[in-house]
């Protein structure tokens, strides 16, 4: 049996799996199920907290007292990191792509409420220098006698990916309980760590279903390289050398739209219709784009050989509030 790293407990697990009783027949394709990782907690809601349970455990084992991480101004990961730090009684520093002039709404408001220290950087700095900037902050804190720990974007690294290694084992148990097997597991891909954990676990567990990522930024080739890198980092923790090819990493390209965290009218319309149809709220950055992409692919007949699909809802509802002006809602 493979021994994985230890973690702390921050999330409400296991999360339930529900069948989408109205969307499935409407699309006329496979049965679609949804795993409610948006219900991992309120402040820590979403997929990031599964990864943080492992990353924060490593930080605490190293005696760290400050968490440093990065993301966009509406980053779910940064909000979950700020909440995790507050919950265990340590500090957090968030390096955010954006401006101090932004309205405190959504995740940004929650970050401030949780007491995170925020440093804004430009999009260019974020793209080219975020690692260097976090290292500089770490050095500044060390000079003050603190013991900081850097968590990369999305906690998408070797240790973080074990959050979805354990989620895969959770799904296997739930399949048995539900009496159903998922031909495909579909997720939104934004930094690669969620897919990496699922992929590594599927290889070690001998899972026969395939994992598909729908990228919400960059392109399929970028994610194949990123996931390959993270999986190989993870294998060093468990002293396992699995043989796999990047061709086994399945990405569905074509749904980035206007770009990361930028929304098209058709995506916002889909989020609205999905909420009315299933009573479930998707977010505009990750799950809205990915579920919209899955629905479009089913309409095209690209999943016609599948009987059951599991979509993992990775959270992000707070990110809806800064985009509320993009919805056309009926007046009461």
Looking at the annotation, which residues are catalytic?
75
Q: Which tokens hold the place of 33?
A: 């199920």
Q: What is the separation of C-alpha 180 from the centre of its chain, rounded to a whole number of angstroms?
A: 25
Q: Which tokens hold the place of 311?
A: 């979509």
Cα dist from 144 to 63, 66, 134, 137, whole Å = 15, 12, 15, 11
Cα dist from 41 to 49, 82, 86, 173, whole Å = 9, 14, 14, 21
Are 147 and 138 within 8 A, CB to CB? no
CB atoms near residue 138 (< 10 Å): 18
Are 223 and 254 within 8 A, CB to CB? no
Are 299 and 27 within 8 A, CB to CB? yes
């Amino acid at each position: 049996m493979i021994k994985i790293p230890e973690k702390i407990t921050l999330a409400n697990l296991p999360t339930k799996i529900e069948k989408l009783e109205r969307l499935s027949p409407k699309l006329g394709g496979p049965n679609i199920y949804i795993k409610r990782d948006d219900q991992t907690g309120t402040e820590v809601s979403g997929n990031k907290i599964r990864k943080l349970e492992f990353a924060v455990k490593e930080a605490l084992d190293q005696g760290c007292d400050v968490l440093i991480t990065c993301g966009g101004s509406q980053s779910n990961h940064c909000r979950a990191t700020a909440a995790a730090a507050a919950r265990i009684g340590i500090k957090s520093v968030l390096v955010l792509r954006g401006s101090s002039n932004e309205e405190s709404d959504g995740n940004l408001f929650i970050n401030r409420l949780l007491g995170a220290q925020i440093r804004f950087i430009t999009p260019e700095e974020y793209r080219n220098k975020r690692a260097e900037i976090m290292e500089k902050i770490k050095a500044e804190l060390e000079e003050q006698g603190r013991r900081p720990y850097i968590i990369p974007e999305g906690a998408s690294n070797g240790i973080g990916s074990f959050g979805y290694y354990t989620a895969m084992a959770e799904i296997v148990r739930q399949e048995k309980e539900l009496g159903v097997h998922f031909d495909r597991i579909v997720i939104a891909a934004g930094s690669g760590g969620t897919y990496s954990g699922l992929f590594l676990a599927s290889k070690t567990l001998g899972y026969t279903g395939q994992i598909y990522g729908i990228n919400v930024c960059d392109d399929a080739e970028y994610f194949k390289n990123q996931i390959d890198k993270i999986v190989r980092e993870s294998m060093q923790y468990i002293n396992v050398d699995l043989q796999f090819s990047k061709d086994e990493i399945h990405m569905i390209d074509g749904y980035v739209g206007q770009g990361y965290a930028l929304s098209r009218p058709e995506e916002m319309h889909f989020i609205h219709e999905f909420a009315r149809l299933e009573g479930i709220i998707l977010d505009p950055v990750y799950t809205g784009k990915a579920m919209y992409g899955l629905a479009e692919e089913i309409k095209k007949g690209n999943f016609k050989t599948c009987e059951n699909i599991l979509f993992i809802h990775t959270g992000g509802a707070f990110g809806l509030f800064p985009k509320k002006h993009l919805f056309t809602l009926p007046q009461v």
